[in-house]
Amino acid sequence: MASSIRVGLIGNRFMGKAHSNAYVKVGKFFDLSLPSEMKAVCGLDQNEVDAFAKRFGWERGEVDWEKLVAADDIDLVDVCTPGDTHAPIAIAAAKAGKHVFCEKPLANSLEDAKQMLAAARAAKVRHMVNFCYRRAPAVSLAKQMIADGAIGEVRQYRATYLQDWLADPCAPMSWRLVKKVAGSGAHGDLNAHAIDLARYLTGDEITEVVGELKTFVKERPWPDGSGSGVGASTAETGKKGMGEVTVDDAAIFLARFAGGAIGTFEATRMATGRKNYNRFEISGSRGSLAWNFEDMNVLEYYSADDPADRRGFRQILATEAVHPYVSAWWPPGHILGYEHGFVNGVYDLLQAIASGGEVTPDFRDGAQCVAVLDAVVASTESGSWQKVEHVD
């Protein structure tokens, strides 16, 4: 049996940094069954990736992901690249017998996602998608509470994931705005999170949807062409002048759940003043739960079982040792931030690899999320409700 879990990371931009930080911290705050080793990181440019490796403590930097995926000293491949490259990398990694941790959305198409799932299952490796918000302590607590019946039967789900970095028409082009690379815009980037939280929290599946995708600003200026790296893919290298935005700025849809609940979903990068406002409110027959990432340590909870004159939404500051993951961190009231969800997730993944157990959200979760995303897109073409394919 292995004496450690050796990690290879592909991607050295925003997500590469967030994942690196997680590997740095996980063993310092959690008791791991097997230690992890930060073996290799892969980027597009050797100098850049070497500097990144040195800074975050990766043993080596590489520029060929196929080589990294095949390397003998790698147990876990972590995929932090744009969506169009998830499938080839993850499938190659699984075929090489590596466990795979992949950024969301799992793939730009349901077909790709299902092939990734099939490859991971065939290889009997651990597979996980990084829906990081599941592991904010307040969100994990919400999941526990719903499972415990705290709000009764779930009837209505409201999700809004609001950002504003594209509200200004002068905000520049990037690979994230090119459909061929990113797959979609706010829809795949933000609704993916919202859909995953809905599935996770309710334990239910979305079966039908109808929606609308909207691009308010149809062309934007390319930055001066200095963009490069795996994180950037090739989409933005050397581009000049105005570029065509081929993805949605905003994506809204209605949903029906298998269990009878209904939901509204909105993702946008045009909600002026909202920075990372990933919010849900869930109405159940006996109570409600609400959460918003911008104040991520707080879970709002209303219980109709409280005495009639003392009911109200509670602001649960989920920083107590009794709350999920918190005992690894700081005392009550010493709040956590964005990065802690990543560390908590990496902890669960490493423990699952060490024990051979299950870990979620896995590639089936990732594929089912893509199935919902795709059905919304299909509904915008048909103008009518669309059934969501169920991924087995």
- Residue 294 carries which DSSP code? G
Out of 70, 171, 335, 378, which residue is the one contacting a copy of itself (CB under 8 A)? 335
Applying CB under 8 A, the span of 41-49, 104-112, 225-233, 272-280 interacting with a copy of itself comes to 272-280
Helices 192-202 and 137-147: crossing angle, nearest 10°?
40
Applying CB under 8 A, the span of 61-69, 170-178, 189-197, 334-342 interacting with a copy of itself comes to 334-342
Which residue number, 216 or 228, has a Cβ lying nearer to a copy of itself?
216
Size of the site for a copy of itself (CB under 8 A): 97
Binding mask 340-359 for a copy of itself (x = CB under 8 A): x-------------------
Which residue number, 78 or 362, has a Cβ lying nearer to a copy of itself?
78
User: Could you say whether residue 207 binds a copy of itself (CB under 8 A)?
Assistant: no
User: Could you say whether residue 288 binds a copy of itself (CB under 8 A)?
Assistant: yes
Which residue number, 66 or 208, has a Cβ lying nearer to a copy of itself?
208
Q: At its nearest, how many Å lie between a copy of itself and the CB of residue 155?
A: 5
User: Could you say whether residue 24 binds a copy of itself (CB under 8 A)?
Assistant: yes
Which residue number, 135 or 364, has a Cβ lying nearer to a copy of itself?
135
- What would the two tokens of residue 218 be? 């149809």
- Convert 212-225 to b/e letters by CB count within 10 Å (16 or more is b): ebebebeebebeee
Out of 315, 355, 387, 390, which residue is the one contacting a copy of itself (CB under 8 A)? 315
- Of 221-260, binders to a copy of itself (CB under 8 A) are 250, 252-254, 256, 260
Applying CB under 8 A, the span of 24-32, 58-66, 92-100, 364-372 interacting with a copy of itself comes to 24-32
Query: 299: Cβ–Cβ under 8 A, 6 or more apart, which residues?
Result: 138, 139, 141, 142, 289, 290, 291, 316, 318
- Of 76-115, binders to a copy of itself (CB under 8 A) are none
User: Could you say whether residue 374 binds a copy of itself (CB under 8 A)?
Assistant: no
Within 10 A of 391 (CB to CB), how many other CB atoms are there?
18
- Of 209-228, binders to a copy of itself (CB under 8 A) are 210-212, 214, 216
Q: At its nearest, how many Å lie between a copy of itself and the CB of residue 123?
A: 32
CA distance 113 to 388: 15
At residue 239's C-alpha, the angle toward residues 237 and 243, to 5°, is: 125
- Convert 148-162 to b/e letters by CB count within 10 Å (16 or more is b): eebbbebbebbbbbb
User: Could you say whether residue 202 binds a copy of itself (CB under 8 A)?
Assistant: no
SS (H, E, C) 48-115: HHHHHHHHHCCCEEECCHHHHHHCCCCCEEEECCCHHHHHHHHHHHHHCCCEEEECCCCCCCHHHHHH
What backbone torsions phi and psi does residue 69 show, to the nearest 5 degrees? -60, -35
Terminal-to-terminal C-alpha distance of the chain: 31
Q: At its nearest, how many Å lie between a copy of itself and the CB of residue 240?
A: 24
At residue 320's C-alpha, the angle toward residues 343 and 317, to 5°, is: 95
